[in-house]
Amino acid sequence: MRRCLELAAAAAAADEVPVGALVVQDDIVLAEARNQVEAQRSPLAHAELLALQQAFVRQGVKRLPGAVLYCTLEPCFLCAGAILHSRVHTVVFAARDPKFGAVRSLATLLEDPRLNHRCVVREGEGAAASAALLRAFFRGKRGADPSLPLPPGPDQP
């Protein structure tokens, strides 16, 4: 998770919403990515999705059944859907995302008994650091554009 937070900080330094993700299997990092929505000019260039796509390219496999995905923010529906298709075993996320989170906040998609795959979910590790990065980033943005939404607060880990 420390490396995830470094990736998130690197995203912020590049003027991207600070989110980082890592795919790990058997203690080996298969892929890592940070949010690249601005760089790629695509709202789909989320850290989790990019890390998974990279893992598939590198491994040449269609599933990652023994993998753990670490990320600094609760995955949204796009990323949670990608996680399910990837058959990732465990997802560890730091801060909750009360607006878009599909794992705990708006839904529990990774544990939905109707779907053909379920993940072990762990949350909280690094939550304060991740929330601090997000808050600082959005505060900076709000300085430039006060119409931007407020980020999750410290009471929303």
Positions marked active-site: 48
Which position among 8, 33, 69, 84 is part of the footprint of a second copy (CB under 8 A)?
84
Contact 1, 25 (CB under 8 A): no
148 binds a second copy per the rule CB under 8 A: no
Contacts of 147 (CB under 8 A, 6+ apart): none
> Would you call 24 helix, strand, or coil by DSSP?
strand
Give the span between the Cα atoms of 151 and 157, in whole angstroms.
Answer: 11
* The three-state (H, E, C) secondary structure of 25-73, written as one string: ECCEEEEEEECCCCCCCCCCCCHHHHHHHHHHHHHCCCCCCCCEEEEEE
Rule CB under 8 A: choose which of 26, 41, 145, 146 binds a second copy: 41
Binding window for a second copy (CB under 8 A); candidates: 8-16, 95-103, 126-134, 140-148: 95-103
Quick one: which of 4, 7, 11, 79 contacts a second copy (CB under 8 A)? Answer: 79
Q: Is 76 in the site for a second copy (CB under 8 A)?
A: yes
Q: Which is nearer to a second copy, 100 or 138 (CB)?
A: 100
Angle between helices 77-86 and 47-59 (to 10 degrees): 20
Pick one of 10, 37, 132, 136: the residue that binds a second copy (CB under 8 A). Answer: 37
Residues of this chain that interact with a second copy (CB under 8 A) are 37, 40-44, 49, 52-53, 56-57, 60-63, 76-82, 84-87, 99-100, 102, 106-107, 109, 112, 114-116
